[in-house]
Every structure is written in C-alpha cells, then in structure tokens.
Structure 1
Amino acid sequence: MDVSVLDRLPAPVQAELDRRQAALPAIAALVEADEDEPVLLAGSYATGEWNPTSDLDLLVLTKRHRPRRAPGTTNHPSILGDSFDGLAGDLPVNVEYVSAERLHDLARVLANTTGDGGTVDLPNLQALEIRLVQRVHKGVALSGTGELDRYRAWLDLDAVRSAATALAFVGTLSLLGDTTVLASPTRELMCRGAAESLLMSAVNAFGPLTHDGKHLLTRAASISRLSDVPELFGRIEPLLFAERLPHEEALGLVLDLAEDLYRSFTDPRCPARVLPMLAPFVPAWSWTGRTWPATEHGLAKTGRAFAGEGA
C-alpha cells in the first residue's frame, strides 16, 4: 500500500503512532490493497478507545480471495477472510481482508429478516459478523470511499443493532433458565453470563454496536450519564456481581432489570426491530412470571417504521 494513504489517519492517531515510534512506511509495508479498494482504520484507534495494549487495526475490503502474507506476519483465517498480525516497531498491527462477496452474503442475510405475515426474523449473527458491520460503518476511510459508500448501503445497521440487542436478550433469558435447574458452581457461572449478556443487550440498544466485552463497561458508563435510560445502567456493579447473591435474590435482580430493559425497547433511541425479533421467544419466558408486553403481528406498537418502510 502507498504510504501516502496513511497520511489520512486522524491527527490524534498519528500523534500516538509518533509517540510509539511506529513508522508509517513500516505499517504500509504490511498492507496489500489496490488503489480502488477501501482501506479503513478500524477497532479502538478508529473509535478513540485505544489503550497501551491496543493493536492498530486496518480493514481492507478486497476483491481478492487471498492476499499475500507479508514477511514476519501470522495469519488467523476465518470464514470472513484472512487476518494478519505483524509489527511496526513495537506496535502490533492487524490487517484484515474481507471480500466484497462476503459483504454481499451478509447483506443477503439481513435482507431476509422480514418474514411472512409481517413478522421480523432474528438473524443468528455471530460476533465476527457483528464486528465486521461495526468496522465497515464506523471505520475511518483511508481510501476507496466510493466503494465503501456502496458497501455501507448494503449493510443495514439498524437490522444489525436490532439483532445484536435481541440475541443478547434471548441469551440472557436462556442462561437464567439454566440457573433454575443447574447446581452450583455451574449455576453461578450461568448467572454471571446472563448478567453480562443483559448488559450487552442494553449497550447495543442505547449505544454503539458492540460485539464483545472489551469496551462494554466504558460504553455502559457513558450511557449511564444520559437522561431517562433503563435502570440497569445505574446498577451495573450489582448486576455483574449478581452471582454472589443467594440464587433467588440474584434471579430476581436480573429478571427485574431484564423486564425494565424489555419495556424500554420502545424508546426511539433503540433500534426499531428489537421487539418484533423477540416476539416469537416471549411464550417460552412464561416460567419467569414476568410481564413481556405482547406485540401485534410481530410489530411493536411504537409508531416507528423500519428503514425503507416510510421512515
């Protein structure tokens, strides 16, 4: 890659690279990209959330199936593409290559979320897929902006935020159900997982698209400073340590916060499709003894329309 592409890095990132003595030519030598292929600054350096252990993440949206492996790098192939780790000085650099074909496959999954009879299906997105959408939409474009705009238009961010929120919420109720039949210490492990999953659901509902725990607490703390947010954001510590309570008390706490979060999904700040995606799961939650307001024809009565459907 031409080193001049890296001149478009945000000034704070360039200052951090200078401080780390990470030479731009050394970074450019790790990247293979054609002139018209989008190259994005991704990850923590793109969001301004980096710390001393953060990699510099670069994403190349490529028409190639397999780029060359730069000398001295290691590859972590996945179903989405190849991901190479290298060094520029002492700075870890990750360069990920994802083909336009994989983006199109993901776009096709998202387009199929609308089911029969007005229902909205819940796509079973995995963490790598959610991360990819986050990086495509929130990454800093260094080249290929025309192509990037086209790819961003393919990937429905509201559908992905809705799915990430709903999947984590379903996971919460599933893990809580496990705590009612499993013995200690597995019961406490499931309770901890349920609490983390509920926080993940809440952050995706009210904040940026989030796929793992790295920035979960800092993002939740930022959301807690907003007005009129779910109770959960004011009780993060009790939630995350709920497994230390007697089981019935822990179960009651997490269910209380889950019920409150569920009711908040009608908030206009939340992605529009969460409640319709959750509707098929509601009957299975009768064991909780809680109220999960019904939806009509799978659509929440919020007055909001989905993207492309009048709003």
Structure 2
Amino acid sequence: MPEIDIAEQLPHRVRTVLHARGVDFDELAALVDVQAGETLLLAGSYASGEANETSDLDLLVITDDRAVSAPPKAANHPSIFGDSFDIDLGAIIVNLEYVTASRLADLNLIVRSARHPVGRHFHLPNLQALEMRLVQRVDTGIPLWGFDVAAQLRSDVDAEAVRASAAALNFVMAVSLLEDTRVLASPARELMFRAAGESLLLAAVNAHGPITYDIKHLAQRAGRLAALRGAPKVFAERDRVVFVDRLEPAEATSTLAELANDLDRSFALPSCPDLVPRMLKPFRAQWERARILY
C-alpha cells in the first residue's frame, strides 16, 4: 500500500482547521486502504467549504473489485456500493467510504439513460440519496491520491443529468404531496405540507445549484441562490416554505401552489439543465387535471 501524505495534499484551509482540532495526520493516513490504480478523495462538507465544528471528515476511495481492510474499532455501515466506516479519532469523526469502480460504472449507465429518449419521453432515473451523493462526491471531491484516476472517473460521471433527475424527482414529489393535502386530515395533512415544502426547495436547489441530496445544507444553499438573476421565488421564501405546515391549510396550499408554478417556469432559465422540462413532460397532463399547475 502506498504511503500517503494527507496533510500535504489537503487544501490549506482544511489542513488549518483540522490541525486546530488536534487531528493527527499520520494516524489519519494509517486508516486508509488505497492501492495503485485507485483514487482517494476528500468529500463532503470539508470539500465543499460548508463544514462547521460538528462536521465529520469524509474520505472516499474508489477501488478495484477487492476486499478492503477495516480500520480498528470502526463501525461499518455497508451499502450496495461497499463499506462505509466511521472512526472516532477523538478530535474528529472520520467517515471512510469504499466504492468499487464497477458499482460506479453501473450507476453511470443508469444516469446516461436520461440522455436517450424512449419514443417521445426522456428517462427520469429514480436516483436515491446514496446514488446522488456518490456522483456528487466523485464530481466535486478533492483528489488526495490517484489524481489521473480521479480525473478519468470525473469525466465519466454525468453530474448535470443527476442534477436534472434530482430536480425533476423532487418536483414530482412536491406536487404529489401537495395533491395529497387535499384529501388528508390533520396531522397527516401538515406532515404532507412540510414534506412538500422541503421537496420544492430540493427541486429548486438542484435545478439551479449543486447536487443536493438531503436537507443538511438546503437552507444555506437556497439563500445563496436567491441572488441569482431571475431566481425562482421559493429561494427568497425559504423560511416560509420550511414552516409552511404552520400556516392555515388554505394559505399553505396557495403558497406552495404559487411557488411550484413559479419554479416550473424557472426550469426554462439557462441555470437549469435542459433535461428537467423533458423529464417532467409525461406528468403534465395529470397535473393539469388536478389543477395544481397552470
């Protein structure tokens, strides 16, 4: 296994923060099992610049199809992609994720299907959070080892198609949940309002910003995107949307419906992948019958 000088490869801003937190970089490097022909990426909030004092340090290794060495005293949270170890170094929690290159290639095939229409319709890949996260980490992660491998893997992923899928899936979910509020009684109705608001924000952020697969950085990113020229109103109304379940039902319904229609129109903006309107086309007749979109 090659020796990796993690401290040398980390961005200065990250190295400075981790040093201040008391991280032992030699101890950190000893956790990682990476071989020649593989790559190690700094991922998560430390890579994106959104880390805070409670953030874990996320490392991603894209491996060949092989077994990896588990760090001592690590908790494993395996998924279909591979092992994901949490290690408590005292100064920080490290999440060390291993994904095989073949699993990433399988995901890339599914994502690429969005570019190839079937008849008059484009595929809408039903991507889940782990799948979106993997593409986002490969696309934006900072290489610490295996730089050429990282560059090749990055060129193979279609991050824009994943953004489009995430935007379309969350928009479909928001409209569906809004429709449910018409027939559900309290407290289920209020749960649907809140979920519809979160889905609407996720749709907007993915349409006009970075791949976002959960709510951790949702409000922060929505706030930054509010400054975009012609930005959808949902960004400026983000606080109202997050707490939409506290409004009277009629007001909550009208608020979300107005913002959904405004967001729908924003899908024509240059900041939005042009795949989004194509992915949504099969749903429009149903939405028009439900009189949610106009």
> Offset at 1:146?
1.4
1:296 alignment partner in structure 2:
none
Structure 2: distance between partners of 1:35 and 1:10: 22
Aligned-residue offset at 1:35: 3.0
1:178 aligns with 2:180: yes
SS at match of 1:141: strand
Whole-Å Cα distance in 2 between the matches of residues 68 and 183 of structure 1?
51
1:235 correspondence with 2:237: yes
| Corresponding residue number in structure 1 for 2:138 | 136
Q: CA deviation at 1:80?
A: 1.2
**1:74 equivalent in structure 2:** 75
Q: What SS does structure 1 have at the residue aligned with 2:99?
A: strand
Task: String of CA shifts for 1:169-197, please: whole Å, max 9, x gaps.
Answer: 00101111111111100000011000000
- Measured after TM superposition, the shift of residue 163 of structure 1 is 0.1
Q: Does residue 38 of structure 2 align to residue 18 of structure 1?
A: no
Paired position in structure 1 for 2:127: 125
User: What secondary structure does 2:160 align onto?
Assistant: helix
Partners of 1:215 and 1:197 lie apart in 2 by 14
> What per-residue deviation string (whole Å, max 9, x for no partner) do you get for residues 122-180 of structure 1?
00000000000100000001111211222122211111010000000001011111111
Q: Could you state the TM-score of these two structures normalised by the residue count of structure 2?
A: 0.96
Distance apart, 1:288 and its partner CA: 4.0
Mapped contact 1:23–1:89 kept (Cα < 8 A): no
Give the 3 Å change call, closer, same or farther, for CA 118–151 of structure 1 in structure 2.
farther
Q: Provide the rounded CA distance (Å) in 2 between the counterparts of 1:175 and 1:62.
A: 39
Which residue, 200, 203, 208 being the options, matches 2:202? 200
Q: Alignment identity in percent?
A: 47
The residue aligned with 2:254 is 252
Contact 1:36 1:143 in 2 (8 A): no
Tell me what 1:306 maps to.
Answer: none
Structure 1 stretch displaced more, 23-32 or 283-292: 283-292
Q: After TM superposition, give the deviation of residue 286 of structure 1 in Å.
A: 2.4
What secondary structure sits across from 1:250 in the alignment? helix
Alignment correspondent of 1:100: 101
Partner residue in 2 for 1:148: 150
SS of residue paired to 1:58: strand
- SS of 2:119's partner is helix
Structure 2: runs of 5 or more not aligned: none
Residue 287 of structure 1: how far off its partner (Å)? 4.3
Partner amino acid for 2:61?
Answer: V
- For residues 172 and 66 of structure 1, what CA distance do their matches in structure 2 show? 41
Shift of 1:51: 0.8
| Shift of residue 118, structure 1, vs aligned partner | 4.6
| Alignment partners' CA distance in 1, 2:276 and 2:205 | 13
Contact 2:6 2:25 in 1 (8 A): no
Distance (whole Å) between structure 2 residues aligned to residue 268 and residue 84 of structure 1: 40
Say yes or no: does 1:163 pair with 2:165.
Answer: yes
SS of equivalent residue, structure 2 residue 83: strand
Confirm or deny: 8 A CA contact 2:257 2:293 kept in the other structure.
no
Corresponding position of 1:301: none
TM-score, normalization by structure 1: 0.91
Q: Which amino acid aligns with 1:250?
A: A
Provide the secondary structure at the position in 2 that maps to 1:172: helix
The question of whether the paired residues in 2 share the 8 Å contact of 1:158 and 1:272 is answered with: no
Letter in 1 for 2:190: E
Give distance in 2, aligned partners of 1:233 and 1:89: 38
Distance between the aligned counterparts of 1:65 and 1:272, measured in 2? 38
